[in-house]
Chains A and B, each alone.
Chain A
Amino acid sequence: MDIKDLEKAAKAGTLGRREFIKRAGALGIAAPFAATLLSQSVQAAMPKKGGYFKLGVGHGSTTDTLDPGTHENGFMSDTVYAYANHLFEVDNTQKLVPELAESFEASKDAKTWVVKLRKGVEFHNGKSFGAEDVIASINHHRGEGSKSASKSLLDPLVEMKKTGSHEVTFQLSAGNADFPYILSDYHLAILPEMDGKMDWQAGYGTGGYIIEKFEPGVRIQLKRNPNYWKAGRAHFDEVEVISLIDVTARQNAVMNEEVHVIDRVDPKTVHLLSRNPKIRILETTGTLHYTMPMRVDQAPFDNYDLRMALKLAVDREALVKKILLGHGAVGNDHPISTANPYHNSEMPQRTYDPDKARFHIKKAGMENTQIDLSTSEAAFSGAVDAALLVKDTAAKAGININVVREPKDGYWSNVWNKKAWCTCYWGGRPTEDWMFTTAYVKESKWNDTAWTKGAAVDRFNELVVAARSELDTEKRRTMYYECQQLVNDDGGALVPMFANYIMALNNKIAHDDVVAGNWDKDGNKAIERWWFA
């Protein structure tokens, strides 16, 4: 790596400031000089206004509507983050910051949340933003008739009161320190109130862009909101989001400069695409992970040593290299990604160790037992190959795995959550609590490892509940670290890898050094955060 590469990496945001200086030092460049170099190469890319930005995304459907309760794909979440705001926002460094909220205060038990709202914000139709809009917008997702995707998220919310023209008090049934995170969910957009209800039909928000034209499943056209309240955001004059479902068409479009950015680049051809001098590849590790859940209530997976043997018999590096073609990160047998706030980075990474695996399988006394692993491409692309790879690496540890290929149809109803061991994927959740509550606590219907009995399970469930209402970050961190350790050690979850989001950007596009990994495309906020260099 020479200094040019470093500069490029610093510009691309794959290299932090410290790292830049450290590596430049390794190349024999003194720190002060390196710092100047860095500011030259990075600050040359200060946000600039203007331009017509075209974003090609691999989602979009003719059934899309502007009702935020129905949003279910990347196309609509790009859209909603562009034309509307939320009470809170996960910023590009993955920190939760107030957006339409100005400040917030939680009671000690994390049950009562008083949120002060930003003043002087206007909707695109000129209506000024206040507490009634927040109440109408959140209520849209609650109540009997609601079919919103966020309904269950808001179940703990028992009362919502306007305690000032720009203040709302939320009352929860149980403490939840992550409540502001929930309010950053893309479904919970704040749209104008009209006759006590949220008015989504008109398509007015407070966001940096105003909707010009919306053709579901084809494109949406946006123009910059001249009165946008947020400083240093929304740099493009006009934006067009185009639905390009076919991956080849999407890659063609970015190569021919018909769009400036695409998401979901095919890992198989990303090296070819990166050769194009007009294009730069951007990768972030998100929360999407591929798993092989073992149901611990069924033989032979009720045996701790057998589970441990299998966890040690998986060559994670090889899986990332061969199944994700290098575009991912190894997992450590728990669902918390580096994109989550409390990822346990201190826990040692489990690696492929056939000797230790052999020790555990002997201890379990199951050297000759045939263990069935059910798999199908329905779980994730490459799942069958992944299973075969696991079979091979486990054979070296004396474990006999039989790969069962299941039909794609009905995989989620007949195999997953039923068969003792199968392949699976999880899109991941932005917070630890969210993820654990979805798939790891005792009472969850989606507890696909059936991890419901034993001392470790009890401790884990206790911790999850306690951490939920713990407002002290350090204490929470300790609790979540332990949770991850418990899942990693005793749980039935085999989490060998996290997949990367891969995007291709035209060289004209610039962004901050750090790009969020909570979703694709800088947390689905590229429209508001990126600019033309």
Chain B
Amino acid sequence: MLHPVVRTILQRLGLGLITLFVVSLILFSSIEFLPGDFGEAVLGQAALPETVAAFRKELGLDLPMHERYFDWLGGILTGDMGNSFSGRGSSGGTDRSRPVIELLAPRLANTLFLASMAAIISVPLALFLGITAALYRGSIYDRMVNAMTLTTISFPEFFVAYLLILVLSSFTKLFPSLANIGPDVDFWERVYLTALPALTLTLVIVAHMMRMTRAAIINLMASPYIEMAELKGASKSEIILQHALPNAWAPIVTVIAFNLAYLVVGVVVVEVVFVYPGVGQLMVDAVTTRDVPVVQGCAMIFAATYILLNLFADIISIITNPRLLHPR
């Protein structure tokens, strides 16, 4: 018999796969119902009915929907997301369509880099602020931290971004306002260039994680076993770090996972403001030109990110839960 933790993880993995399958189905059919047509969008003024028809034929858009769906799904399972629509031969010029993977991979790497930068700054910061705020609950420090993080989360992210550009870039010239990194930029240069976008994202997500940390710990502080710890004479920080925190991980990790997923899938605005070549911009461009394979590829990656990170959060909350770790 499997260890219950292993069994739960396997179960979750299976559920994740099923979810991904359902997502692919919804995604494909919803794109199908979108108005507009790639041929018309690309050809613009030159869209004569014959050209549009020829275009649809070349792209295989004249096949029935279920055939195209299984084609596409089969491709994804074998790691092939197809070729982009834009740059096809009939849109003028030679065939310049590129495999979606080739378009997506460098952008995804950039997005993940930015997300990790923001995570490395924001997660420890949020945990630290949350724990200390819980420790000094009701003090001026607690109030200050709360007020400040709530302020930054309340502003739309483009506004935070422009404020940072104004102060750190226009006035003080500390950081560049353009983060258009290339593939051969070395690591430290990359860190320097992505500083402002990472900082913007940090300011936007820190409040959520910090408040959840604080709330989870404060919630536990009322439990009898904490009272017990207090009675046996443990110091306040000992109580929080050794007794409260292990039991508080589950809600905290869930919120952290949620925010990390946001860092990957929801940063289009920040990417646009800083001209950061990430997946978000690629997807928006693809939507405006109705480049369906690219949109689908991006969306699948976003969905997979969400599912994986949530899975990860679940696993962590399971293994930090002493009751699950020591089954009887």
Contacts and interface: CB of A to CB of B under 8 A. Distances in A.
B170 A255 contact: yes
A256 B45 CA distance: 37
A72 B177 contact: no
Contact of A410 (B37, B93, B98): B37
B40 A256 contact: no
A433 to B, nearest CB: 20
A413 B49 contact: yes
B182 A219 contact: yes
Contact of A69 (B40, B45, B48, B93): B93
A286 B217 CA distance: 65
B44 interface: yes
Contacts of A252: 162, 165, 169, 177-178
A69 B94 CA distance: 8
A219 B193 CA distance: 15
B99 to A, nearest CB: 12
Contacts of B92: 70, 72, 147, 149
Contacts of A219: 180, 182
B187 to A, nearest CB: 18
B47 A413 contact: yes
Q: Of A249, A258, A259, A412, which is in contact with the most chain B CB atoms at under 10 Å from its CB?
A: A249
B178 A409 contact: no
B96 A70 contact: yes
B275 interface: yes
Nearest to B41: A409
Interface stretch (B82-90, B112-120, B242-250, B256-264): B82-90
A70 B178 contact: no
B105 to A, nearest CB: 12
A63 B178 contact: no
Contact of A258 (B40, B48, B177): B177
B93 A67 contact: yes
Q: Of A62, A148, A246, A446, which is in contact with the most chain B CB atoms at under 10 Å from its CB?
A: A62
Contacts of B36: 409-410
A59 B272 CA distance: 14
Given A249-B275, A256-B170, A256-B176, A412 B96 contact: no
B221 interface: no
Contacts of A127: none
B97 to A, nearest CB: 8
B35 A409 contact: yes
A294 interface: no
Nearest to B51: A413
A248 interface: yes
B306 interface: no
A249 B272 contact: yes
Given A67-B94, A70-B94, A218-B180, A246 B275 contact: yes
A163 B282 CA distance: 50
Interface in A241-271: 242-246, 248-249, 252-253, 255-256, 258-259
Contacts of A409: 35-37, 40-41
A218 B182 contact: yes
A396 interface: no
Prevailing SS type, chain A contact patch:
loop
A412 B44 CA distance: 6
A65 B96 contact: yes
Contact of A253 (B43, B89, B177): B177
A440 interface: no
A245 B289 CA distance: 14
Contacts of B52: 413
Contacts of B272: 246, 249
Interface in A41-98: 61-63, 65, 67, 69-70, 72
B87 A63 contact: yes
A215 B177 contact: no
A452 B273 CA distance: 49
Contacts of A62: 98, 103, 282
A69 B95 CA distance: 11
A416 interface: yes
B224 interface: no
Contacts of B183: 215
19 contacts: A61-B86, A62-B98, A62-B282, A63-B96, A63-B97, A65-B96, A70-B93, A72-B93, A249-B272, A252-B165, A256-B173, A256-B176, A258-B177, A409-B40, A409-B41, A412-B44, A412-B46, A413-B47, A413-B48
Interface of B: 35-37, 40-41, 43-49, 52, 84, 86-87, 89, 92-94, 96-98, 103, 162, 165, 169-170, 173, 176-178, 180, 182-184, 272-275, 277, 282
Given A219-B182, A258-B177, 14 more contacts: A65-B96, A67-B94, A69-B94, A72-B93, A147-B89, A147-B92, A219-B180, A243-B180, A249-B275, A259-B178, A412-B46, A413-B40, A413-B49, A446-B45
Interface of A: 61-63, 65, 67, 69-70, 72, 147-149, 213, 215, 217-219, 242-246, 248-249, 252-253, 255-256, 258-259, 407, 409-410, 412-413, 416, 445-446
